[in-house]
Structure 1
Amino acid sequence: MSERIREKLSILADAAKYDVSCSSSGSTRKNDNKGLGNGHNSGICHTYTEDGRCVSLLKILLTNHCIFDCAYCVSRKSNDITRAAFTVDEVVELTMNFYRRNFIEGLFLSSGIFKNADFTMERLLRVVKKLRLEERYNGYIHLKTIPGASEDLIREAGLYADRMSINLEMPTESGLKLLAPEKTHKEVIDPLKLVQNQIVQFKDEKKLIKNVPTFVPAGQSTQMVIGATPETDKEIMQTADAFYKNFSLRRVYYSGYIPISNDSRLPILGSQPPLVRENRLYQTDWLMRFYGFNVNELLNDANPHLDIDIDPKLSWALRNLQFFPIDINVASYKMILRVPGIGVGSAKKIVQARKFGRLRIDQLQKIGIAYNRAKYFIRCSDSPMQLREYQNTQIKSFILAESQSKYLKNDIQQLILF
């Protein structure tokens, strides 16, 4: 690798770290024994797939030059940073060399916008076409859609990418207008709608025609910057919920705002992004997608913000004690999922295990539930107490004390060991 390519890689890989919208592939692109790589068996960079594998990705920008001046973006045109740009051949060569050396399992390619949207999107398309058609690369490719690019370019790119994503940036239009007045949510919504319609169309054609090319088999995702504008958690999650429903997104990513300028429009934060809030938003997202919660149950006018001290599932349970305790031996799967300390896997095991007899505390612990948390919300064959003995504030304090005690115990053990 030449020194110039190494310098470009350092600059453009560092600039790409602010884009978090890259997680488990879900691709169905298989190797036909004549090419290189296999998107079906591998995922993307420095993340975890659903089966727990940690996978790697070459995550870079095509360029960090940009015609826009978004206040929250490190690559904005007014920022005094070192600029660089890869050629199409350089990206292809880097990807193939890293893949052959087993350094990566896929490519995440994004870009600043230079000249205009079509000019940038056309170069991204040339990269993925060359990888697929000339290098016969069958590994995972996550490609960023450029807002404002022509439909023809986006449609063609979908034939070569496994996943496409386009960043919503701010949760609301007003927030976007404040920090990026040159952009609109419509420029994001239109490509999402186009890709979603194409995915549906290709699936319908596959029912009638045997050989139909794949089109974005791993679906779409988007990303929102959190904390740069004053939206409530309720507004953020309502936006996410609408995008999940309207565009069948695989993921919405929440990126805690990192202070990068002294712009008066931006909030004054410490040097660290709001990571706890970011984590609570991801937990809420998970409850909506896998636990059957409606966004309005978790966040509403009475509770527009998530509790920083406790997770959103426990927070909901404490606000709705009228539903508890549930009898773990007869309750529905849906209600078992809503018990703090019980996950999807444990809930399924409970439903199966109780077919063979009534469950006791020790059996629930063996199944793997967090019993010290769940015990306030359930009854089983040998439960020692009833939930009505405690108020929600008492339960919260008990659980927080238990958590603090656990971490304190771990710290003491570490001191003893070292």
Structure 2
Amino acid sequence: MLRTYIEPVGQIGIQEKLGILADAAKYDASCASSGTAKRNSRDGVGLGSTEGMGICHAYAPDGRCISLLKILLTNSCIFDCHYCINRKSSNVRRARFTAKEVVDLTISFYKRNYIEGLFLSSGIIRSSNYTMEQMVEVARSLREDHQFRGYIHLKTIPDADPELVHQAGLHADRVSINVELPTVGGLKRLAPEKSAVRIEDAMADAKAAIADGKDAKAKYKSAPTFAPAGQSTQMIVGADAATDGDIVTRASTLYDRFGLRRVYYSAFSPIPDASAVLPLSRPPLMREHRLYQSDWLMRFYDYRPDEVVAAADDATGMLPLDIDPKLAWALKFRDRFPVDINRAPREDLLRVPGLGVKAVDAIVRARRWRRLRLDDVARLTVSIAKVRPFLVAEDWRPVALTDRADLRPIVAPKVKQLELFGA
């Protein structure tokens, strides 16, 4: 029988609690701060900022580093999800912050210029409502008692009373609810105490509240906003039998149904005293990276979900690990290439491997004034060798290069690829 160690509140110091609960929070990837409203204390009112720089924990779309204090309220939990290191039956050291301790830590860290905001999640203690009340109290106290104007992200609990979740959204910049696993079957098997229906109902409520808040703000300037940075979610990759095709399809559905700002992917990591139903080893980290790239294709490159899924292996449903999904799609559908950079519409240029959104926009602007040559494209991309077989320029035509049987080793990166899609 596994022993559950519960540390009585008040019997360990703040520093020890911080060590335990900051480490426990590392498994939650959904802590980016993009999309929030710009606020700061330069006008002499309040504390904090959503715009500054410090210790990097998250990146805004324009490249700004947003430092976040990322912790759990507690790593104790009444649930026993197989994949979670903090599950009820796990033999880990437990700790718990009070709401006041989290508030004091956030203010103290901000004043030392360590952070610009707070990401707060929690295990479930006593009940979902009790836990959600404590998290809401943290956000309320920061906003109202301390006039904290920095970024706050709250991980909400789908089983909690909707009014508590609504209060969380009124104080937080972003709220998130984890769908946990890509398939309903996987959730039933590995987290039987959680309900896919309740999770999706809570996400739908958040979507409606965000829309209502925007409508009210348009009519009344003083109207409160609900989660101005939107909502996000996270899936665990590799804990169940879901393929990359399953995950991409599920992510697309979540974006469409709930207006999510981001879907985050977290590669399953074997945990101490693991359940026998879990895999013995973690999936390759590159798999997580490829899923983020596929997500990028749908969000910024106008790929349909079925097109991204088409880049996966027909037999296994998995995206290739040695090349990015954009290149995999291009190699699979060579009849779409080469693309004439001087004539092709923007949506076709976005399909060229190695050309990013900025490079494509630069090409579209420049070709209004002159015919572009291969050297012009080379200045906009990391690897012209990767781009060359898929385009036609003023001084370049592939001459059957696109049809070569050995094209893949020619355009595939010679080292492990960590960039997304070039410049």
Code of the residue aligned with 1:17 in structure 2: it is K
Out of 188, 191, 214, which is 2:199 matched to? Answer: 188
Counterpart of 1:368 in structure 2 is 381
Query: Secondary structure of 2:48's match?
Result: coil
- Return 201-210 or 159-168, whichever deviates more: 201-210
Out of 123, 126, 135, which is 1:112 matched to? Answer: 123
Q: State yes or no: 1:34 paired with 2:41.
A: no
Counterpart of 2:6 in structure 1 is none
Q: 1:390 to 1:247 in 2, by over 3 A?
A: closer
Query: Secondary structure of 1:299's match?
Result: helix
Out of 131, 135, 154, which is 2:142 matched to? Answer: 131
1:174-196 Cα shifts (integer Å, max 9, x gaps) = 00111111111122111111111
1:326-366 Cα shifts (integer Å, max 9, x gaps) = 11100000000000010000000000011111101111112
Out of 76, 79, 88, which is 2:87 matched to? Answer: 76
Q: For residue 167 of structure 1, report the CA deviation from its aligned partner.
A: 0.8
Distance 1:262 1:107 in 2: 30
Distance 1:369 1:404 in 2: 14
Q: Is the Cα–Cα contact under 8 Å of residues 23 and 44 in structure 1 kept in the other structure?
A: no
Q: State yes or no: 1:395 paired with 2:407.
A: yes
Q: Is the Cα–Cα contact under 8 Å of residues 24 and 43 in structure 1 kept in the other structure?
A: no
TM-score (norm 1): 0.92
Query: Secondary structure of 2:234's match?
Result: strand
Distance 2:224 2:113 in 1: 28
Out of 228, 235, 255, which is 1:244 matched to? Answer: 255
Q: For residue 383 of structure 1, report the CA deviation from its aligned partner.
A: 0.8
What are the equivalent positions in structure 2 for 1:13-412 lying under 5 Å apart? 13-28=22-37, 30-31=39-40, 33-39=44-50, 46-260=57-271, 261-269=273-281, 273-300=283-310, 303=314, 304-368=317-381, 370-383=383-396, 385-386=398-399, 388-391=400-403, 393-400=405-412, 403-404=414-415
* Structure 2: runs of 5+ lacking an equivalent: 1-10, 419-423
Q: 1:327 to 1:29 in 2, by over 3 A?
A: closer
1:121-165 Cα shifts (integer Å, max 9, x gaps) = 000001100000001100000001012000110111111000001
Q: For residue 171 of structure 1, report the CA deviation from its aligned partner.
A: 0.5
- Return 52-61 or 32-41, whichever deviates more: 32-41
Distance 1:360 1:72 in 2: 53
Relative to its length, the structure with more helix (as a share) is 1
Distance 1:147 1:208 in 2: 30
Q: For residue 302 of structure 1, report the CA deviation from its aligned partner.
A: 6.9
Of all paired residues, the percent bearing the same amino acid is: 49
Code of the residue aligned with 2:369 in structure 1: it is F
Distance 1:111 1:242 in 2: 26
Code of the residue aligned with 1:200 in structure 2: it is A
1:274-299 Cα shifts (integer Å, max 9, x gaps) = 20110000000000000000010121
Q: Is the Cα–Cα contact under 8 Å of residues 152 and 172 in structure 2 kept in the other structure?
A: yes
Task: Detail structure 1 runs of 4+ shifted over 2 Å in the superposition.
Answer: 29-33, 38-45, 300-304, 367-370, 388-393, 402-407
RMSD: 2.1
* Structure 1: runs of 5+ lacking an equivalent: 408-418
Distance 1:405 1:202 in 2: 45
Count residues with an aligned counterpart: 402
Distance 1:46 1:156 in 2: 26
Q: Is the Cα–Cα contact under 8 Å of residues 67 and 113 in structure 1 kept in the other structure?
A: yes
Q: For residue 204 of structure 1, report the CA deviation from its aligned partner.
A: 1.3
1:27-78 Cα shifts (integer Å, max 9, x gaps) = 1152463211123557995122222222311100000010011110000010
Q: Is the Cα–Cα contact under 8 Å of residues 390 and 398 in structure 2 kept in the other structure?
A: no
Q: For residue 95 of structure 1, report the CA deviation from its aligned partner.
A: 0.3
Q: 1:370 to 1:41 in 2, by over 3 A?
A: same
Q: 1:182 to 1:43 in 2, by over 3 A?
A: farther
TM-score (norm 2): 0.91
Code of the residue aligned with 1:135 in structure 2: it is H
Q: Is the Cα–Cα contact under 8 Å of residues 171 and 239 in structure 1 kept in the other structure?
A: yes
Q: Is the Cα–Cα contact under 8 Å of residues 338 and 398 in structure 2 kept in the other structure?
A: no
